[in-house]
Each structure stands twice: as C-alpha cells, then as structure tokens.
Amino acid sequence: MATSEFWQRASASTPTQDWSESAAAGNQRTARGSIGMWMALDALTVLGAAFVAAIIELHTSFVAGMRNFWHGTLIHGQSTGILTCLLLGFTVTLIVISKSLHLYTPARLTSYLHEQRLSVQACLVSGLLLTGTLYLIKGEEIPRGVVLLTVILLTVSLSARRVVFRALMYQRFERGLNTRNVIIVGTGAEAHALRHHLQSIRQLGYNFKGFVHVPDVDTQLAGTTGDVLGALENLFSLARKHFVDEIFFTSPVERGVIKAVLDQARANGIDLRVVPDMYDGLAWNSTIEYIGQFPTIPLHRGHVPEVGLIFKRSLDVTLAALTLIALSPLFLILAIAIKLDSHGPVFYTSERIGKKARVFKCVKFRTMVRDADRKRAEILHMNERQGILFKMQNDPRITRVGRILRKYSLDELPQFFNVLVGDMSVVGPRPPIASEVRQYNLSHLRRLDVTPGITGLWQVQARQDPSFDSYISLDVAYIENWSIWLDLKIILRTIGVVFAGTGS
C-alpha cells in the first residue's frame, strides 16, 4: 500500500509505546471533567428530591426541616449520621448505575427516548436497592412515603433536566452553535454511508466538510469529486482550514499511518475515530461508541474544558443581562443623541465572522455617517494599522457623537445582545469582517477557534499597537492560556480602560 513520504517518515518516528492504551487513557482524562460535572448535578438533584419529599411527607417547613435534620430529630429514632449514610449510599448507587448505563456519555450520541428510558431505569433500580437496605437494617421508623416520593421526584427531576438540556442543545445546533465539523478519510461506500448518516440525523450536531482521498487505496464513487478536499498527506492543513473537530477513518490504511495521524490529532486537539469493521483488533481496549446507529472506535478526544465553558457561558449571560438592565436609561439617552446628531439608524449591524467561521450579525451603536461602508474604499490608503487591520485616528466618516462613543467604547454596548443569544462572549478575540479573514493564513485562523468577545487581551494590553502580528499573538495567547480567572482579570482591566477613554 503506497503512502506519501511524509506519512512514511511520520509513522517511522512514532514511539514504540502501546499507542492504543495511551489513546484510551487520553480519552478517559478528557472526559473526566464533564462526567464529574454531571455526577455532581445528579448528587444535588438527589439531595433536593430527598429534602423536598421529607418536607412534604413530614408536614414541616424548610427552616424547621433543616434544623431538625441537624439536631437528629427530623425522623424519630434515626440520627443524622444514619440518615446521611443512607442518602450518601443512595446517591453513590444512582451515580454508579447511571455510569454503567452510559448516561454520562455526550447526549448527542444517544436518542431522546433511549436516554429517558435509561434515566428512569437508574432511578428505579437505585430506589429498590434503598428499600432493600432499609429492610435489612430494620429502618421501620423511616416513612416509606418519604422514600417513594424521593424516588418519584428524583425520576421526574432528572428526566426533566435532561429534556431541557437536550432541547437547548438542539436549539443551538439549529442556529449553527456548538456543532462539530467533520472530515471523513476515505471515499468508498462506507464513507458515503457515514456521510449520509451524519447529515440525515441533524440532532447529532455534525457538519460534514468533505472527504479526504487516500491515494492507491480509495476508489471514488460517482458524484464524489466535488466533495473531496484533498489527499491524506494534507489532512491536518485541511482540518485547520475547515475548523475540523473530528476526523473519521473509513479507508483501511497501514497501522503506521494511523499512528502518525493519531500523534498529529493529539498535537492539534482533534478527535479521531475509526470504523471498527475496517480496523479489527485496533485499539482493542477502546469502547465502541455509536454515532446514531453507526459504530465507531474513538482513538483520541481533544481536550475540551466543558465545565469551564459552562461557567463562562453562565458568566456571559449574567453579565449581559445585568448590563442591559442597568444601562437601559443610558441606551435611551445615546439613541436620542445619535438621532439628533446625524441622519441614519441608531444601530449599525454588520456581518462578522465568529467561531469556526460562522457568520453572524454584530450590532453596535452607529458612530459613522450613513454611507460609511461605501466610502471605506476611498480611504484605505490612509490606514494607520499594519497588515490586515484598518484603523484611522481621524476617520472622516465618524460623527461628532460617534467620536465620544468610540472614545469610551460606548458604541459596543449593544453587543451584549449578541452575548445573550450566544454569538459572542464578554471576553474573547474581536470578531473580524470577512475581508480581513480572506487575507488570513492558516495560523491566523487559530483565533476563530473560540467565540469572539466584546473585550479581550489585546483591548486591555495593546490597544494602540498598530501591529497585526501583536494582535494575533495576543489572541492566540488568550486562547492557549484561557481560564475563568483570566476572563475576570480582563473584565476588571477593561473597566479601567473604558473610564480612561483610550478608545478610538
């Protein structure tokens, strides 16, 4: 089987360690954070269901119930220690059963009805084990009504939570958010079957970007040519260009080639899956995951800080909502000032490029004359920035009110609406326009891997620096070192920058 010299060199340089075991270990480490989060939510749901059931059945209040539980008088004859151990055991049992039923796998990989059936099953089995435990320890003092109501409330709560989460997930998929871009290596019948499967089940959240041809292996089917992005030797440059999250292998190639691809997938943070029929015996200790009804073996999962991203999104929604409510009087004043100052609408919307090159409408207060976009070509030669960015200190298109808005960054306040709907974040790289992105090279596309923001590291650290390289390097530094604490620091520094009036 012929392969390019590049892949031959790459496979020859692969370490001799058991790469299948290493891949499985990497998958476990990557998934641990999100699994822990869902386990914690289940534990909190058990606690809430048990406490509500006790309040209802024992006809007590929230405060009185807490006080009685603390003093060991909530249920006659049962100490706080015994009740705590029973509740802890019930929680651990539910989590263990849920994990064995794969309820902590990504929701998009399972159907709604299947998830609900498994959720009910986990709750009922845990409830039966709790009832059996009470019988064995002769816990007659604990009302069976409390146990029954706890199991019912828990079942309803977990099912409802998963329904709401799935509905929100599907809604975001429909808007093109949180979807995963996919390249399929191979152009044979299996590759086309997988493509049809991914495209027909939209709730999986996959976007098919194209096939990658394996020279001297694939036999292209009719109608494939237009969907082939390139050859295997260019796999990762194509993945970078198309913001690929997962690569599926359907063509049988040498094990050395797969090893080389796996190493590069790790380096690039891209998920790698193979079709088990094509790779019998490969990564034997990896579990089979079904993408819809299509079996795959995950060899590598790129690190995604799901817990941190959930906190980031929660912070975004909270800050955006509070800002829009608190500054609504200021919005009205600025709208009136813009209208009185010049002809045209209050708001200016423009198409911007967001995460994974997704186009969205970015909204700002209008700071320029009505036909500013048409006049832009006339003053391009006066650009004061270096490289792709365009900026002028004394742009003749800016209105009198617009200069004040820009000086204190007030023109960007409406972008909190973009944050609320998920197109933007409070902190992140600034969203570029299409003409700028068309001039990016492959390395510049790194800044489009994350959701764009209203403010960012460049805005608070090098706002007046004309260098495009500095602009890119700071955005990449933010992406590679991101944390919730970094976002909070940037937000605090942004407040100082705004009041200093260093905008332009």
Let me know whether 463 and 326 are in one domain.
yes
Quote the tokens at residue 117. 């059936």
Q: In this structure, are 169 and 231 located in the same domain?
A: no
> Among 355-359, 383-387, 395-399, 438-442, which range has the highest average pLDDT?
355-359
* Mean pLDDT, rounded, for 268-293: 69
SS3 473: helix
Give 254-280 pLDDT, tens digit per residue: 777 888 888 888 888 888 888 876 555
Whole-number Å distance between alpha carbons of 454 and 399: 22
The residue assigned the tokens 């902190």 is 427
Picking from 304, 319, 341, the residue at the C-terminal end of a domain is 304
User: What is the four-CA torsion angle of 253, 4, 269, 293, rounded to 10 degrees?
Assistant: -30
pLDDT tens readout for residues 41-52 = 899 999 889 888
Distance CA 294, CA 204 (A): 12
- Contacts by 357-362 with C-beta closer than 8 Å and gap 24+? 357/243, 357/437, 357/445, 357/448, 358/176, 358/177, 359/434, 360/418, 360/423, 360/424, 360/431, 361/423, 362/415, 362/418, 362/423, 362/424, 362/431
Choose the most confident range, by mean pLDDT, from 301-310, 377-386, 419-428, 443-452.
419-428
Instruction: Give SS3 for 206.
Output: strand
Domain range for 167: 31-174
What is the per-residue pLDDT for 184?
92
Output the CA angle 304-309-311, nearest 5 degrees: 145
CB of 169 closer than 8 Å to CB of 205: yes
- pLDDT higher at 23 or 364: 364
The reported pLDDT for the residue numbered 361 is: 93
Please report the pLDDT score of residue 6 as a whole number: 44
pTM for the whole structure: 0.69
**Whether 499 contacts 418, CB under 8 Å:** no
pLDDT at 395 over 90: no
For residues 134 and 125, the model is more confident at 125
Nearest CA to 410 out of 315, 316, 323 is that of 323
**pLDDT for 342:** 85
pLDDT at residue 143 in the model? 75
54 within a domain of the structure (yes/no): yes
3-class secondary-structure state, position 393: coil
Best-predicted range by mean pLDDT (76-80, 332-336, 467-471): 332-336
Domains of the chain: total:
3
Assess whether 74 and 152 both reside in one domain.
yes
Q: Is 228 within a domain?
A: yes
**Residues β-bridged to residue 180:** 206
294-300 vs 425-427, strand pairing mode:
unpaired
* CATH number of the domain where residue 267 is located: 3.40.50.720
pLDDT at residue 17 greater than cutoff 60: no
Give me the mean pLDDT over the 87-103 stretch.
89
> Which of the listed residues 279, 304, 329 is the one where a domain comes to its end?
304
Q: pLDDT for 332-379, tens place per residue? A: 999 999 999 888 899 999 899 999 888 999 999 998 887 766 666 666
Give the pLDDT confidence score for residue 24 in this predicted structure: 43
- Which of 304, 337, 361 is the C-terminal boundary of a domain? 304
